Structure 1
Amino acid sequence: MPHISQKGQRMPESPIRKLVPYAEAAKQKGHHVYHLNIGQPDIKTPEVALQAVKNAEIEVLEYSHSAGFESYRKKLAKYYQKHKLDVDFSDIIITTGGSEALSFALGSVMDAEDEIIIPEPFYANYNGFAIANGVNIVSVMSSIDNGFALPPIAEFEKWITPKTKAILICNPGNPTGYLYSEEEMKQLTDLVLKHDLFLIADEVYREFAYDGFKHISVMSIPALENHAIMVDSVSKRYSMCGARIGCIVSKNKEVMNAAMKFAQARLSPPTFAQIASEAALDTPNSYFEEVITEYKERRDVFIEALQQIEGVKVTIPHGSFYCVAKFPVKNADNFAKWLLEEFDFNGETVMIAPAAGFYSSPNVGLDEARMAYVLKKEDLISSAKILKEALKVYKNIEK
């Protein structure tokens, strides 16, 4: 019998989706499951985007340009310029989600066995993207004790080798919700300039910043013109996860020429989703004001409820819509399965994402879980109540 590749064997399961069969089984028992595991907003997609697809008069569903519709890229460049980012449409390639943009970035600047440094915990799929591209992740640990702030630059520097090609950050962070400060971005800028590295920034949550904190894009730092690669997406900004439209942005022409070859190899991004995404750029600012206000209220309600649970440690995230909590359990993976398989509180339970899958270091984050506060406030309060009651029972089970 033929064998699958080592790459296939090493490809990790998603900590966000691997427990889906357990959730489905819980629902078949008649239990209601609150999905804290996945960042699927329940905010309505802008009507202007949906109407654009409904009203599209298309007789032949053709390929688009490999870089995406020129009209969309020009409109997207204006959006970035409005946010004081000096981006031309020629600096943009539309991709099939932010995921493809990340893969294009890795493929364009790294060869097999090259190294990329990432502060952990980080978005779980970075592990998969690295394996698929033959790239080695070198992790630098952040800590819940200081809200997952940027680790000391000395920790990055001691891991830089001739194989190091880039540093990757998610800003604001998934799974932590951490938003990098101006000083932290300056430290990273100085580091990549000193060692002639790329700084890849996953900025798909750039709109979601709270408490007066400001998001600082890598594309806003002039010194990084030849070093910065930005990854973006419509998934969270417009509550359009199913559109699978993102983009890779860089002013480094060599990077974009290489990325274009990857774009040509996959032909083109999806047409209808580009139509919706281009139209979504007409969404009024009031939409974002309402959405950000709503997420901040959800965050406040959920974090406060978690902080009142005995033994649970969680910090206040200032961006995105995630938090990482430390639970009084030995293994959050086992706890997450138990919640779905064996526990319910008044016929309800919750699904969380064990945080170990958001680290590349082994045996780290075993007692942590990522949760998304994308549900209605009353559902988040109910979820926290379920977790509180579940932990009272579980402490007698896990000994």
Structure 2
Amino acid sequence: MPQISQKGIDMPASPIRKLTPFADKAKQEGKKIYHLNIGQPDIETPEVMLNALKNIDFKVWAYTASEGTASYRTKLASYYNKLNYNLSPSDILVTNGGSEAITIAMQACLNPGEEVIIPEPFYANYNGFACSADIVVKPIMSYIDNGFALPSIAEFEKVITPKTKAIAICNPNNPTGYLYSREELEALKELCIKHDLYLFSDEAYREFCYDGKEFLSPMHLEGLEEHVVVFDTVSKRYSACGARIGCLITKNKALFQTALKFAQARLSPSLEGQIAGEAAVDTPDSYFEAVSTEYTARRDTLVKGLNAIEGVFCPNPGGAFYVVAKLPIDNADKFCQWILEEFSYENETVMMAPATGFYSTEGAGTNQVRLAYVLNQTDLKKALVCLEHALAVYPGRQD
């Protein structure tokens, strides 16, 4: 029998999706499941984006340029320049989702065996992207007790080696919802300049900042132009996860040309996705204002409800639409499977993501779960009731 590759063996399974078979079985048994495990919003996609798809009239479904269509990149540049990024279309490489942008950057910036430092917990698929690129993730711990604030620069210095080539952040953060401050980003800037490192900035949740807090990108920091690589996507901003259109942004021309070679190897991003993405830039501000109001209310409902449950602690996030909560349990992986397999309250249960999958350090996050507040408030409240009853009878409860 032919052998599987070592890379295939090493490639981690998604902790967000690995419980799907248990959820499917629970549904077959007639249980209603509240899906708080995955960042799939129930917010409607902007009408202007859907209309662009409906009105497509091309006669040949052709390749586009590997870097993306000129019209979409021009439109994207106008979007970013309203945010004071000071970009030209030639700084933007359109990708098949934000995921491809990250994979291309890792391959273009790091040699096999070199290291990227990432504050943990972090988006679980970074591990998979790093595996694909044959690079090493060096985690640096952030803690739930202070809301997952950026670790001190001294902690970064401890893990920097001659193999370190980059630092990666997600801002606002998935899975914690933490929003980095200006002081934290300025400190990272000085660190990257001192050690000549790339700074990867995953900005998929840029539009989701709450309580009047300011979003700041490394693109706003002077003197860091050659170091910054931004990853973005239409998935979350426009509730268009299935469009699979993202982009890589950098003002480093040598890096851009290198990334373009990887993009050429996969030919091109989808034409219809770019047509929809170009139209999406015209989404009115009122759409984002309504979405922000809704997510703020959902966050408040979820965080307040979690902290009202005995033994549960959940910090209040400043952005994105996720929380990481600490539960009075022995093992998050066991609990998240048990609540699907063995538990129901009024024939309903909850699907969550064990936080262990968002840590790279062995044994971290064993009593934590990530919950996405992508459901309406009524469903969130019902999910909280299920969770409270589940924790009361869970055999592995730890008080």
TM-score (normalised: structure 1): 0.99
Change (3 A) 1:161 1:304: same
In the alignment of these two chains, the number of paired residues is 399
2:315 maps to 315
Q: Match of 1:224, SS? A: coil
Q: Deviations over 1:135-173 (max 9, x none)?
A: 001010000010000001111111111110000000000
Q: Match of 1:364, SS? A: coil
Whole-Å Cα distance in 2 between the matches of residues 196 and 397 of structure 1? 47
Whole-Å Cα distance in 2 between the matches of residues 44 and 255 of structure 1? 36
Q: Does 1:168 align with 2:176?
A: no
CA contact (8 A) 2:329 2:397 kept: no
Whole-Å Cα distance in 1 between the matches of residues 24 and 101 of structure 2? 31
1:215 maps to 215
Q: Match of 1:335, SS? A: helix
List runs of 5+ in structure 1 lacking aligned partners.
none
2:105 maps to 105
Whichever residue aligns with residue 129 of structure 2, its letter is F
Whole-Å Cα distance in 2 between the matches of residues 331 and 123 of structure 1? 20
Q: Deviations over 1:371-390 (max 9, x none)?
A: 00010001111111110000
Q: Match of 2:159, SS? A: coil
**Cα offset, 1:395, TM superposition:** 4.2
Whole-Å Cα distance in 2 between the matches of residues 195 and 301 of structure 1? 43
CA contact (8 A) 2:328 2:398 kept: no
1:35 maps to 35
List 4+ stretches of structure 1 deviating above 3 A. 395-399
**Cα offset, 1:221, TM superposition:** 1.1
Q: Match of 2:235, SS? A: coil
Whole-Å Cα distance in 2 between the matches of residues 277 and 385 of structure 1? 39
| Alignment map for 1:38-49 (pairs within 5 Å) | 38-49=38-49
1:8 maps to 8
| Alignment map for 1:1-399 (pairs within 5 Å) | 1-395=1-395
CA contact (8 A) 2:102 2:231 kept: yes
Whole-Å Cα distance in 2 between the matches of residues 356 and 65 of structure 1? 40
Q: Deviations over 1:6-41 (max 9, x none)?
A: 111111111110000111100001100000000000
CA contact (8 A) 2:116 2:168 kept: yes
List runs of 5+ in structure 2 lacking aligned partners.
none
**Cα offset, 1:396, TM superposition:** 6.4
CA contact (8 A) 2:331 2:396 kept: no
Whole-Å Cα distance in 2 between the matches of residues 75 and 196 of structure 1? 32
Whole-Å Cα distance in 2 between the matches of residues 64 and 208 of structure 1? 31
**Cα offset, 1:209, TM superposition:** 0.4
Whole-Å Cα distance in 1 between the matches of residues 69 and 22 of structure 2? 41
Q: Deviations over 1:309-328 (max 9, x none)?
A: 11111100000000000111
Decide which moves more: 247-256 or 219-228: 219-228
Q: Deviations over 1:310-351 (max 9, x none)?
A: 111110000000000011111011000011111100010000
**Cα offset, 1:361, TM superposition:** 0.7
Whole-Å Cα distance in 1 between the matches of residues 116 and 303 of structure 2? 32
Whole-Å Cα distance in 1 between the matches of residues 291 and 69 of structure 2? 28
Whole-Å Cα distance in 1 between the matches of residues 331 and 158 of structure 2? 31
Whole-Å Cα distance in 2 between the matches of residues 107 and 136 of structure 1? 12
Q: Deviations over 1:202-252 (max 9, x none)?
A: 001001000111110111112110000000000000000000000000000
Q: Match of 1:118, SS? A: strand
Q: Deviations over 1:51-110 (max 9, x none)?
A: 111111111100000011110000000000011111110000000000000001101100
CA RMSD, 1 decimal: 1.0
CA contact (8 A) 2:175 2:323 kept: yes
Whole-Å Cα distance in 1 between the matches of residues 157 and 395 of structure 2? 41
**Cα offset, 1:398, TM superposition:** 7.8
Whole-Å Cα distance in 1 between the matches of residues 145 and 375 of structure 2? 26
Whole-Å Cα distance in 2 between the matches of residues 126 and 98 of structure 1? 11
CA contact (8 A) 2:312 2:326 kept: yes
Whole-Å Cα distance in 2 between the matches of residues 173 and 115 of structure 1? 21
Whole-Å Cα distance in 1 between the matches of residues 231 and 325 of structure 2? 26
Whole-Å Cα distance in 2 between the matches of residues 254 and 159 of structure 1? 27
CA contact (8 A) 2:345 2:386 kept: yes
**Cα offset, 1:292, TM superposition:** 0.5
Q: Match of 2:256, SS? A: helix
Whichever residue aligns with residue 204 of structure 1, its letter is A
